[in-house]
A and B are shown apart, each in its own frame.
Chain A
């Protein structure tokens, strides 16, 4: 199929399958999936600028579907999502400026590659440690409960929960409540800071940076995993729409490719979103671990081979 805007010939079946797979990942983990979509579009000859912009447009559509489904399941905190969108957009702008500075200095590729590998590996290592520790302690608790003849209450516990509780106790005005997420009070600045850092990485490394934002919502803000996934998707709608508009004005979006990809993503995102109901928070977090590792592998391949995927 010929796509006149980007001048590319791409099989629509390929686009639908890629969209479907990314849709499942997005619905289940609350990520945009640009670390797979970007290389997948590049692999069929789409220019890098079109791959980035078109991927963002497709992420908007997929996130609308997945967030609607998560909202129906009660997994979206609208207040938190709107506040985070502000921080993300601010961070993304600063990240993009940093990239421009590094471009002028002439060492953008090496710096971005090293930072991204370090970030991806740190997130994966930390999440393996935390989710395994949490699962072990849950098993111990449930066996004790069985001895006492009690049923263990299904709660989204985290081995890192004491840190998020300490962060919630920081009294930096203004404090806000997030009743949907079960947070009685948290400083607005902490939420904005978490979103800003996510946006910074998004502008700096490309993509939606859901691999940073979703874990930091769980570990720093203390949001239950299912709500973090749904709220992150809602937040991605706003931030990716902003990114799409910005890229479309610069001529980097082939909306026809995005529309075709999205037909697969729409159904994949629903499957992913519904599947979260069958897994406990720590298991979702453990299953999340390979995603940043795939991102790291792609960057290492790019560094070693010199080919940008």
Chain B
């Protein structure tokens, strides 16, 4: 039981490190390119901006959930 918990904890910590690297990359690449475009859209086409904003946050949620699930599955599978 204790070794199971240790395995899960280790897998989770590795996942956190990989996830942190992905997030840092995401900040510098995606947000840097998106920033100006979204700002212009927000000023010029407010309704389109509203629709894009909701799609972006839902899209990111679905992608991140899949990434974390995949990472966890991969790491757990390897540690077993």
What separation, in Å, do the CA atoms of A290 and B51 have in the docked complex?
Answer: 36
Chain B neighbourhood of A248, CB < 8 A: 46, 49-50, 53-54
B65 and A64 contacting across the interface, CB-CB below 8 Å: yes
Residue among B31, B51, B65, B68 making CB contact with A259, cutoff 8 Å: B31
Residue among A1, A4, A58, A68 making CB contact with B65, cutoff 8 Å: A68
Using an 8 Å CB-CB cutoff, how does the interface string of A244-286 with B read, 1 for contact, 0 for none?
1100110101011011101100110010000000000000000
A65 and B35 contacting across the interface, CB-CB below 8 Å: no
The reply to whether the CB of A62 lies closer than 8 angstroms to some CB of chain B is yes
B38 and A57 contacting across the interface, CB-CB below 8 Å: no
Chain A neighbourhood of B53, CB < 8 A: 57, 244, 248, 253, 255, 258
Q: Chain B contact residues: over half helix, strand or loop, or mixed?
A: helix
What separation, in Å, do the CA atoms of A262 and B64 have in the docked complex?
Answer: 9
The reply to whether the CB of A60 lies closer than 8 angstroms to some CB of chain B is yes
B62 and A16 contacting across the interface, CB-CB below 8 Å: no
| Given A248-B49, A248-B50, A263:B26 Cβ within 8 A | yes
| Given A245-B50, A253-B53, A262-B57, A5:B42 Cβ within 8 A | yes
| CB closest residue in chain A, given B22 | A263
The reply to whether the CB of A69 lies closer than 8 angstroms to some CB of chain B is yes
Q: Chain A contact residues: over half helix, strand or loop, or mixed?
A: helix
A262 and B50 contacting across the interface, CB-CB below 8 Å: no
Taking the closest CB of chain B, its distance from the CB of A293, in whole angstroms, is 29
Number of A-B contacts (CB under 8 A): 91
| Given A5-B38, A60-B57, A60-B58, A270:B65 Cβ within 8 A | yes
Total interface residues on A, CB under 8 Å, equals 32
| CB closest residue in chain B, given A242 | B54
| CB closest residue in chain B, given A16 | B23
Using an 8 Å CB-CB cutoff, how does the interface string of A167-201 with B read, 1 for contact, 0 for none?
00000000000000000000000000000000000
B23 and A263 contacting across the interface, CB-CB below 8 Å: yes
B61 and A262 contacting across the interface, CB-CB below 8 Å: yes
Chain B neighbourhood of A241, CB < 8 A: 54, 58
B19 and A255 contacting across the interface, CB-CB below 8 Å: no
Chain B neighbourhood of A256, CB < 8 A: 31, 34-35, 38
The reply to whether the CB of A45 lies closer than 8 angstroms to some CB of chain B is no
B58 and A61 contacting across the interface, CB-CB below 8 Å: yes
B64 and A263 contacting across the interface, CB-CB below 8 Å: yes
Chain B neighbourhood of A253, CB < 8 A: 50, 53
B38 and A255 contacting across the interface, CB-CB below 8 Å: yes
A249 and B50 contacting across the interface, CB-CB below 8 Å: yes
A266 and B68 contacting across the interface, CB-CB below 8 Å: yes
Task: Pick 11 A–B contacts, CB within 8 A, sort by A.
Answer: A4-B36, A60-B57, A61-B58, A62-B61, A241-B54, A245-B51, A249-B50, A262-B60, A266-B61, A267-B16, A267-B19
Told that A58-B57, A256-B34 touch, could you supply 13 new A-B pairs with CB distance under 8 A? A4-B36, A60-B58, A64-B65, A65-B64, A68-B65, A244-B54, A245-B50, A245-B51, A262-B60, A266-B64, A266-B68, A267-B19, A270-B68
